[in-house]
């Protein structure tokens, strides 16, 4: 099953390809599929809204099954922030380092037991005939005080998943792909595909 990935984030595409390949899905980047390089405004209030918007806009351009992920970090002590603006937390000109620095500054006085958080991923698959499948995955954990590890991206150096003593950035790609929010969302997507008999 060939599927076009709506995201331009190469890290996300690599993770989706690694996981989806196990389910018989051939994930192709929008660049490799010849989809025009357009910017999609992520102005939804939820991960679900942004995920569907990205998938639908790219599907309308390429006419093929399209998959989109919208994901982010939700920190309990910050009322669920940064949430849907995780990638833009430090502003439109921000980057991973600036986002992490802002998050750490806001959590300076938060005790270890109150630094609970979760990564959330919502994956939407849309079909040219109008069908839609939505799958959500969450990975619980907590935030540490200083970055650790050089793997991964985004907030990975600050997030320790539940049951581990290492951050996402200290795990290997294979380890992370077993437990991550995106892995859980893709597993839920596969289950829904099988239930709906969409999987060939």
The position carrying tokens 């320790």 is 160
Measured between alpha carbons, how far is residue 54 from residues 68, 77, 120, 160, 199 in Å? 6, 29, 17, 29, 22
How many Å apart are CA 3 and CA 124, to the nearest integer? 12
Q: What span, in angstroms and rounded, lies between the C-alpha atoms of 33 and 42?
A: 22
Closest listed residue to residue 155, CA positions, set 78, 76, 74, 69: 74
How far, in Å, CA of 125 to CA of 160, rounded?
29
8 Å CB contact between 115 and 77: yes
**Catalytic site residue from 32, 45, 69, 70:** 70
**Rounded to whole angstroms, how far apart are CA atoms 159 and 176?**
12
Is there a catalytic annotation at residue 70?
A: yes
Known catalytic residues are 70
């Amino acid at each position: 099953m060939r599927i076009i990935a709506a995201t331009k984030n190469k890290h996300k595409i690599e993770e989706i390809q690694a996981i989806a390949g196990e389910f018989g899905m051939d994930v192709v980047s929008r660049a490799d599929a010849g989809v025009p390089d357009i910017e999609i405004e992520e102005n939804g209030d939820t991960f679900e809204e942004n995920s569907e918007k990205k998938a639908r806009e790219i599907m309308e351009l390429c006419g093929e099954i399209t998959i989109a992920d919208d994901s982010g970090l939700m920190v309990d002590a910050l009322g669920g922030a940064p949430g849907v603006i995780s990638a833009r937390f430090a502003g439109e000109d921000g980057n991973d380092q600036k986002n992490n620095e802002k998050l750490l500054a806001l959590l300076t006085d938060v005790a270890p037991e109150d630094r609970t958080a979760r990564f959330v991923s919502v994956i939407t698959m849309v079909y040219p005939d109008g069908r839609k499948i939505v799958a959500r995955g969450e990975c619980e954990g907590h935030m540490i005080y200083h970055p650790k590890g050089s793997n991964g991206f985004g907030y990975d150096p600050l997030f320790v998943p539940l049951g581990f003593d290492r951050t996402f950035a200290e795990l290997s790609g294979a380890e992370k792909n077993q437990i991550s929010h995106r892995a859980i969302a893709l597993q839920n997507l596969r289950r829904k595909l099988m239930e709906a008999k969409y999987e060939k």
